[in-house]
Amino acid sequence: MSEGPFETSSQRTELASLGEFGLIERLAAQVELVQPSSKFGIGDDAAVIDPSGLHQVITNDMLVEGVHFDLSYMPLKHLGYKAVVVNLSDVYAMNAEPRQITVALAISSRFPVEAIDELYEGILLACSHYGVDLVGGDTCSSTSGLIISITAIGAAKPEDLVYRNGAKESDLLVVSGDLGGAYMGLQILEREKMVFKETGTQPDLEGNDYILERQLKPEARRDIVELLRKLEVKPTSMIDISDGLASEALHICRASGLGVRIYDEKLPIDPTTYQAARDFDLDPTTCALNGGEDYELLFTIAQSDFEKVKANPSLSIIGHMTNAAQGYVLVDRQGGTHALKAQGWDAFLAKG
């Protein structure tokens, strides 16, 4: 594996010594099924699931080394955990409960068995944390990097499902948690990698635990889906934030045939994120709007639900939906309006 500042070396057992079937057998031995709907897991030609009259939701996300992750600062255990989380996040964004995953891996021979064990440690940790079963997958060799493709399967009553296209004019736009942290975590990791390459200096990550965790060990917002259920609020539309708030808000707008007004001063930004953005000479608002990988939930609710969500510390009301003719608008702290775009926010990018 590549020499990086964040790596620890240990024992090395060649994958070839175990073989594909040996690897699968070892893996299957660690897996325990907890979901009643999982009728058969690893070990036959296909897994068997009983949705018991519910609708099933199915989603897949692929992570490619060098495109989506960099192993010089991403520990394999975290990578496994994150690969599961990004998929579960999509299931929660449908207001459904994730129940099963399958994992397809393309592995190059530079990875020893110990590396695959670490990866699965993260995958299985996420499975147990979210109560999801690993019910199958595929394993093959890769001539270059590592590729992880995960499919998540969830279930919901048909009437509970929330789509992107259900927002109505004058609905409130709400986001969970805070934004821009994962992006700033990535900036710090990239900076420390450069410093290590150029000078051999060990990484200085002090004081940035929160945003590093946002990048390296994100969580899917199961708690928000549960909270909304408890508050008896059913969103009219919902999406998870993988590519950045601006991009996801525009997805809701286009799917629902509406415009949107988002208020800069309402955007939830953690102080650590804010400070890191300043240190990098970036505008915190731009990071919150376009950073990506936050895996928060963005949703719309009817105005009549305002009282139920207004004081909740996990939820921020950041704007409202308008008719399509009013377009996609960002309102700054002075009341000025800007076009909300999916990439960058030119007027503010250069601000010190």
Contact 174, 94 (CB under 8 A): no
Alpha-carbon torsion, ordered 38, 158, 91, 56, to 10 deg: 40
209 near Mg ion (CB under 5 A): no
- From the CB of 13, what's the least distance to ligand ADP, in Å? 17
- From the CB of 136, what's the least distance to ligand ADP, in Å? 3
By CB under 6 A, name the one of 18, 24, 231, 250 that touches ligand ADP: 24
- Work out the number of other CB atoms within 10 angstroms of the CB of residue 251: 17
- From the CB of 27, what's the least distance to ligand ADP, in Å? 6
- Work out the number of other CB atoms within 10 angstroms of the CB of residue 219: 18
By CB under 6 A, name the one of 3, 45, 232, 307 that touches ligand ADP: 45
Size of the residue set binding Mg ion (CB under 5 A): 1
Name which of ligand ADP, Mg ion, none residue 137 binds, using a CB cut-off of 5 to 8 Å depending on partner kind: ligand ADP
- From the CB of 123, what's the least distance to ligand ADP, in Å? 8
Name which of Mg ion, ligand ADP, none residue 103 binds, using a CB cut-off of 5 to 8 Å depending on partner kind: ligand ADP
138 near Mg ion (CB under 5 A): yes
- From the CB of 134, what's the least distance to ligand ADP, in Å? 6
Residues 106-135 that bind ligand ADP (CB under 6 A): 134
Alpha-carbon torsion, ordered 120, 123, 127, 128, to 10 deg: 60
76 near ligand ADP (CB under 6 A): no
255: helix, coil or strand? helix
Contact 1, 9 (CB under 8 A): no
By CB under 6 A, name the one of 98, 112, 122, 137 that touches ligand ADP: 137
Name which of ligand ADP, Mg ion, none residue 139 binds, using a CB cut-off of 5 to 8 Å depending on partner kind: ligand ADP
- Return phi, psi of residue 9, to 5°: -95, 150
Classify residue 298 as left (phi > 0), alpha (psi -120 to 50) or beta.
Answer: beta
Q: Which is nearer to Mg ion, 45 or 307 (CB)?
A: 45
* Continuous segment of H or E residues that includes residue 350: none
Closest C-alpha among 307, 332, 327 to residue 317: 307
What is the x/- site pattern for Mg ion, positions 85-124, by CB under 5 A?
----------------------------------------
Query: What's the one-letter identity of residue 321?
Result: M
DSSP alpha helix (H) spans, 271-322: 271-279, 284-290, 306-309
Contact 256, 321 (CB under 8 A): yes
Q: Which residues contribute to the site for ligand ADP (CB under 6 A)?
A: 24, 27, 42-45, 103, 105, 134, 136-139
Q: Which residues contribute to the site for Mg ion (CB under 5 A)?
A: 138
